[in-house]
Amino acid sequence: MLNDKTVLITGGTGSFGNQVLERILELYTPRKVIIYSRDELKQHEMRTRLHSPIVDFWIGDVRDRQSVLSVMKNVDYVFHAAALKQVPSCEFFPMEAVMTNVVGTHNVLDAAEEQGVRKVVVLSTDKAVYPINAMGLTKALVEKLMLAKARTSISSTVFCGVRYGNVMYSRGSVLPLFVNQIRNHQPVTLTSADMTRFLLPLPTAIDLVFFALENGKNGDILVRKSPAATMGVLAAALIEVLKSKSGTKIIGISEGEKLHETLVTKEDLLRSESFPEYFRIKNLENLDYEKYFTEGKINNLPKEDYTSQNARRLDIGEVKDLLLGLREIQEQL
């Protein structure tokens, strides 16, 4: 799909942007890939590392509607990854999260529609489901903005999204913190050893995005089925992999943090199509108020959501295998 096409990656200097760019250059021959972000240092580092004639770098902010409209000209496909993602940052500065995540997404969707982009894939997170923190609340609105645009747009642009759990060793995730603590001979800090999280290596998350690119229909949200582990098991596995004598220290659950995460609600499951490794959550395709208000029916509602508590649980050996497959852990070793 991407051969001889122009691809735009918003937030392209982050963990996702680097990995998806690597995958695109490995598998396709695009006409151009545009990395759009406001981080000039990371753009400079990417530019000097790649030396690629087909990768363009554009300084800009998704909050700036005119900038987004300009960069979107002649673009065929968009991966929208730009966001504020750290829970504490969004808790302390929720309006900043609203401006980047909500207003920024609105600008991206509008510009894609106006410029005739073929497809937009919007990235979301498990924290958007039953959100209890500012980051999750804004990401829930990101999904609603995408769905609304899919229903109301009169253009041929396809708007779809992906939702996945914690990406291992992504920027702002817990693994870099744990590794740093171990390297400094400090105990690994756990909010709760029984807390569970989905574990998804970044390349697997990229697989989900390309699955959405190829299979996502207007208004779809694609979800990767993922295994989970307790934070106690994750910490123990990492300590063993790095051959450390560091112990663990329980510091208590932080504000805005859940004990377990939900990827798909019971209501989502009711209207989902299940693939071996994915869920496709189907949504209303148009502004049909009758279906929304008077004709909706719930039959055979599933008994439980799809959560990190009831997903397949990994043991220490399985988590060690996952960790050893990460490039960053291999570099540590």
In the block, residue with structure tokens 């450390």: 244
For residue 119, the cross-strand partners are 77, 158
- Phi/psi region, residue 243 (left: phi>0; alpha: psi -120 to 50; beta: rest), is left
CA–CA separation, 113 and 110 (whole Å): 5
CA–CA separation, 326 and 20 (whole Å): 16
- Tokens matching residue 65: 């509607």
Q: Is 149 one of the annotated active-site residues of the chain?
A: no
E strand residue ranges, the chain: 6-10, 32-37, 55-59, 77-80, 119-125, 158-164, 167-168, 188-190, 196-198, 200-201, 221-224, 228-230, 248-250, 262-264, 272-274, 278-281, 306-307
Question: Catalytic one among 127, 139, 258, 320?
Answer: 127
Angle at 295 between CA 292 and CA 299, to 5 degrees: 105
CA–CA separation, 31 and 263 (whole Å): 35
SS3 at position 327: helix
**Which residues contact residue 98 at a Cβ distance below 8 angstroms, ignoring those fewer than 6 apart?**
138
**Which residues contact residue 145 at a Cβ distance below 8 angstroms, ignoring those fewer than 6 apart?**
102, 105, 106, 109
Q: What is the set of active-site residues?
A: 127
